């Protein structure tokens, strides 16, 4: 068992990440007890499925894993968003469409993932530790997306 932990966003307006990664699942919490959501993902070599958040602000996760990439959909056909991440040391990707999405530009070094999700003005810095670069980047993107869909302007998490 390993951990994916750290922060997406600053001390005010960001979310803490506390997840555990086992062979077949990622479980944990993004954000605090009140302003946050659970992460429950089942992993196989070919798929990542599960749930981000609860019944109200939650989204189902349906992703495919390929060599060096993760892609699929978070949420339903109407209210969901597509996601694609790729890379090993330089991880790039996008969650959402051209106008309603955000870019992901992250760097992996010595079990640390750093970089930026979203634009320079509206986005968040990423500072996470983990053992798998793509799965850690996925948790960073899910955290930022959850932050957006819950509409939190600040967080004490």
Residue-wise pLDDT for 106-129, tens only, equals 999 999 999 999 887 778 999 999
| Model confidence at 104: pLDDT above 80 | yes
Strand partners, 69: 66, 86
Domain ranges, ordered by start, for the chain = 2-150
CATH 2.40.128: does it fit domain 2-150?
Answer: yes
Q: pTM for the full model?
A: 0.91
Q: What pLDDT does residue 100 have?
A: 79
Residue-wise pLDDT for 51-82, tens only, equals 999 877 789 999 999 999 999 999 988 888 99
| Model confidence at 132: pLDDT above 50 | yes
CA distance linking residue 70 with residue 138, whole number of Å: 8
Higher pLDDT, 10 or 44: 44
CA distance linking residue 112 with residue 131, whole number of Å: 8
């Amino acid at each position: 068992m390993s951990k994916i932990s750290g922060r997406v966003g600053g001390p005010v307006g960001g979310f803490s990440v506390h997840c555990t990664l086992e062979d077949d699942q990622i479980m944990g919490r993004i954000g605090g007890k009140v302003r946050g959501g659970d992460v429950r993902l089942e992993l196989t070599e070919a798929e990542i499925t599960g749930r981000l958040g609860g019944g109200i602000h939650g989204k189902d996760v349906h992703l495919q894993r390929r060599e060096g990439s993760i892609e699929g959909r978070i949420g339903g056909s109407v209210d969901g968003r597509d996601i694609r991440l790729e890379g090993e040391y330089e991880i790039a990707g996008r969650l959402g469409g051209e106008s309603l999405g955000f870019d992901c530009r992250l760097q992996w070094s010595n079990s640390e993932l750093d970089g930026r999700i979203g634009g320079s003005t509206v986005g968040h810095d990423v500072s996470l530790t983990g053992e798998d670069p793509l799965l850690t980047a996925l948790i960073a993107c899910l955290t930022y997306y959850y932050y957006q869909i819950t509409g939190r302007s600040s967080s004490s998490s």
